[in-house]
A and B are shown apart, each in its own frame.
Chain A
Amino acid sequence: MTFEDRYNIVVKTILVQGLPMTLKLIFASLFFAMLIGVVLGTVRSLKIPVVDQILGAYALICRGVPTIIILLFFYAYLTKGTQFWISVLSISLVEGAYMMEVVKGGFLSVDKGQWEAAKSLSLPLMHTITRIILPQVLLVTIPALMGQIVMLVKGTSVAATIGCMDTLRRAQLLLPKYSYPMEIYAYVLVIFFIMCHFLTWLGKKLERTVVKRIMGERNV
């Protein structure tokens, strides 16, 4: 391969065309997965009969089946929607299920006394959750949520299987033209490696900031 070939592969195709799609997949899926995780995790912690069983089943299914199968199922089943949105739907549902369980676990870890104090002060339930409990839940769940976000970033590459033009798919389409699959895949690998480690680093910084915001200058 010439230098120009490599420039075309790495810059023109992977970085300019593929990466933006991967980033779009990441941010859209992350938004919906977090939304699902925080809202449904909160609902789960309230242990409402029937609702809780439904959410339990949702968690069981989405965590017990490979994402790629859920993706292929929706791709075959849904007649509307682009490959992008079908991918976002599948990834959000799966990662949302994991985050829901993480958030629910966070609720269990908050001392019962916090609820009782709020109750004895007649704070409305919504207020108790949003101002007292949820901030403490998010604080304890940041490490687990960050781990889940890294899984999500890696997981977006399944979108390539239904033809969503992300980093991996763009790279795959180059294969017939160049006879260096190892090198081309190596570029994709490096991009994902950098993204995940950047996120992990960002997560640690974020954790410190959030801890400061929520708990004052505690060194935890």
Chain B
Amino acid sequence: MSEMSEKKEIVVSLQHVTKQFGSLTVLDDMSLDVYEHEVVVLCGPSGGGKSTLLRTINGLEKIGSGKILYRGTEVNHRNIKEIRKHIGMVFQQFNLFNNLTVRDNLLIAPVKTQKKKKDEMLKKAVEYLEIFGIADKLDSYPHQLSGGQKQRVAIVRSLMMEPDLMLFDEPTSALDPEMIKEVLDAIRRLSSMGMTMVIVTHEMGFAREVASRVCFLEGAKIRVNTDTKTFFEDTEDERLKQFLSVILHH
């Protein structure tokens, strides 16, 4: 296959990562490599550790043992702030800054913190908003937006940092059905732009379409980690079969 000949670089690599909350083991010796331009979908039953796994990648959650490499560099408490600048994160609850307009939500990190030129950043913000169909919302406050619009603004806010990797934690779970599509379309677009992404989602149709690889997390372990086709059509794992039959007939 042609893919095999061009050597793809690993963006992020989790190696034997373990994480506990008190006596509860949430991540049990998890290893995962995310290659450039790959879309990795994480799924599995509630409490399986999907959010925690995602959050360890950008240091929102500290790990117990094991290590995380970002482009070959081991992530530690000293370099995490720098590394985070390259990792975008989109939350289930959007987490737009409530007291700022869309404009300021998008500009605060690049302009105020990274000291980039304001007019250039504004131009970029407007371009992204246009791509995602919400250019008219520049001066709105978050509470004036629909859920789907909020989530698209949140995606643009991450994109403003020109991330190398984007993490999504159930980006459509808090949305009404009619808004799910607009957010999924936004993520599809990122995928077609070649963005490397790790996505936690229960939207299996969507996963099947955009994922290059799907992982099934259960009981603090990555039980299955395989290419999308095998995952949906050819799995041997009994628990996964059970999970899929429930979720696909839902």
**Docked pose: A127 CA to B100 CA in angstroms:** 13
B242 interface residue (CB < 8 Å to A)? no
Which chain B residues border A124 with CB–CB below 8 Å?
113
Q: CB distance B84 to A117 under 8 Å?
A: no
CB-based nearest A residue for B83:
A122
- For chain B, which range describes its interface: under 10, 10 to 19, 20 to 34, or 35 or more residues? 20 to 34
Q: CB distance B141 to A218 under 8 Å?
A: yes
Task: Please report which residues of chain B, range 88-114, place their CB below 8 angstroms from some CB of chain A when the two chains form the complex.
Answer: 88-89, 91, 93-101, 108-109, 112-113
Which chain A residues border B60 with CB–CB below 8 Å?
116, 119-120
A36-44, A55-63, A129-137: which one contacts chain B? A129-137
Given A119-B60, A120-B60, A131-B108: A136 in contact with B113 (beta carbons within 8 A):
no
Which chain B residues border A116 with CB–CB below 8 Å?
60, 89, 91, 95
Chain B positions 111 through 122: 1 when the CB is less than 8 Å from some CB of chain A, otherwise 0: 011000000000
**Docked pose: A139 CA to B100 CA in angstroms:** 13
Q: CB distance B141 to A120 under 8 Å?
A: no
Which chain A residues border B100 with CB–CB below 8 Å?
131-132
Q: CB distance A123 to B84 under 8 Å?
A: no
**Docked pose: A119 CA to B101 CA in angstroms:** 19
Which of A113, A131, A139 contacts B91, CB < 8 Å? A113
Which chain A residues border B95 with CB–CB below 8 Å?
111, 113-114, 116-117
Which chain B residues border A121 with CB–CB below 8 Å?
84, 108-109, 113, 157-158, 161
Q: CB distance A132 to B99 under 8 Å?
A: yes
**Docked pose: A198 CA to B98 CA in angstroms:** 31
Q: CB distance B109 to A215 under 8 Å?
A: no
State how many angstroms separate the Cβ of A145 from the closest Cβ of chain B. 17
Q: CB distance B109 to A122 under 8 Å?
A: yes
Which of B85, B98, B144 contacts A122, CB < 8 Å? B85
Given A120-B84, A123-B109, A135-B99: A216 in contact with B93 (beta carbons within 8 A):
no
A214 interface residue (CB < 8 Å to B)? yes
B20 interface residue (CB < 8 Å to A)? no
Which of B85, B98, B161 contacts A215, CB < 8 Å? B98
B189 interface residue (CB < 8 Å to A)? no
Which of A113, A117, A120, A139 contacts B99, CB < 8 Å? A139
Which chain B residues border A127 with CB–CB below 8 Å?
108, 112-113
Q: Which among A120, A124, A215 has the highest number of chain B CB atoms within 10 Å?
A: A120
Which chain A residues border B98 with CB–CB below 8 Å?
114, 136, 215
B16 interface residue (CB < 8 Å to A)? no
Task: Please report which residues of chain A, range 206-220, place their CB below 8 angstroms from some CB of chain B when the two chains form the complex.
Answer: 214-216, 218
Task: Please report which residues of chain A, range 100-132, place their CB below 8 angstroms from some CB of chain B when the two chains form the complex.
Answer: 111, 113-114, 116-124, 127, 131-132
10 contacts between A and B (CB under 8 A): A117-B95, A117-B154, A120-B60, A121-B109, A121-B157, A131-B100, A214-B99, A216-B101, A216-B144, A218-B141
- Given contacts A114-B98, A132-B100, A216-B144, 7 further A-B pairs with CB under 8 A are A113-B91, A113-B94, A117-B96, A120-B158, A121-B161, A122-B109, A132-B108
Which 3 pairs from chain A and chain B are nearest by CB? A113-B95, A117-B95, A216-B141
Residues of B within 8 A of A (CB): 58, 60, 81-82, 84-85, 87-89, 91, 93-101, 108-109, 112-113, 140-141, 143-144, 154, 157-158, 161
